[in-house]
Amino acid sequence: MKQMLPPNAKISKEAKETMQECVSEFISFVTAEASDRCHKEKRKTVNGDDICWALGTLGFDDYAEPMRRYLHKYREVEGDRSASDGQNTRSSNFGTGDGQMLFDDMDRNNPSTSTRY
Amino acid sequence: MLVGGVSGRTGPHSLPLARIKRIMKRSSDDVRMISAEAPVVFSKACEHLIGVLVRRAWAAALRRKRRTLLKEDVAAAVANTDVFDFLVQVVQQQPK
């Protein structure tokens, strides 16, 4: 959070807690929609496509397409990883530092999110 | 099944996957199984959400000539953004 603000900015504890609650609610909100779709299609597993679909349906249009691209790349990476089983040259931390280069493509296309203080 | 996600804390580019998965499971009785990729997608989506919320809340704080982000600034950001209507109740809840 702090990385998105100027160095002299402060965030109150209450504001941080509220942000966390907003994120939790976001996850619940989108998951419920995705899960509903799975249920109607008689599928048991909520997957990345369901999340992307739910994002689009709920009005998060700006998120849906970048997430689809991100998901596509994630699947490529994971596919490579399991294909080279035993070599394990790729880090398993897709969601952390090692995945950073895969995020950049999305951030480049979305200038509003690429600003970092 | 789960991707790495070693960091248990919110880092510059990831949120804890286990926590995301827990929230997903709580969200609905219909949720049974969750693929490994779903929390990963959410981790990225939540980063974007936080980015938008923080920037808008910060703009609200600056309008009020403050450099400390308060809950009311987050509430203002939510109120000013149509797609955040589902968060109106969250920001209105009184602290314990």
**Mean pLDDT, chain B cut into blocks of 10 residues (96 residues total):** 42 73 89 92 94 94 95 96 93 68
Q: Same domain, yes or no, for A24 and A45?
A: yes
pLDDT means per 10 residues in chain A (117 residues)? 82 95 96 94 94 95 91 88 62 44 42 46
Please report whether residue A117 resides in a domain.
no
Return the pLDDT at B25.
92
Please report whether residue A101 resides in a domain.
yes
Q: Does B32 touch chain A (CB under 8 A)?
A: yes
Q: Which among A14, A17, A51 is the nearest to B41, CB-wise?
A: A51
Q: Same domain, yes or no, for A54 and A34?
A: yes
Please report whether residue A66 resides in a domain.
yes
Q: Does B1 touch chain A (CB under 8 A)?
A: no
Return the pLDDT at B62.
95
- Report the CATH number that the domain containing residue A51 is assigned in CATH: 1.10.20.10
Per the CB < 8 Å rule, is B74 touching A113? no
Q: For residue B83, which residues of chain A lie inside 8 Å, CB to CB?
A: 58-60
Q: Same domain, yes or no, for A20 and A55?
A: yes
Rounded to 5°, the CA angle B44-A26-A54 comes to 75
| Amino acid at position B69, single letter | L
Please report whether residue A2 resides in a domain.
no
Please report whether residue A6 resides in a domain.
no
Please report whether residue A1 resides in a domain.
no
Q: Same domain, yes or no, for A83 and A44?
A: no
Please report whether residue A8 resides in a domain.
no
Q: Same domain, yes or no, for A65 and A92?
A: yes
| Among candidate residues A43, A111, A85, the one with its CA nearest the CA of residue B32 | A43
Query: Residue A33 sits in which domain range?
Result: 13-59
pTM comes to 0.77
Q: Same domain, yes or no, for A64 and A106?
A: yes
Number of domains in chain A: 2
| ipTM surpasses 0.90 | no
Please report whether residue A22 resides in a domain.
yes
Q: Does B77 touch chain A (CB under 8 A)?
A: no
Return the pLDDT at A56.
95
Return the pLDDT at A111.
46
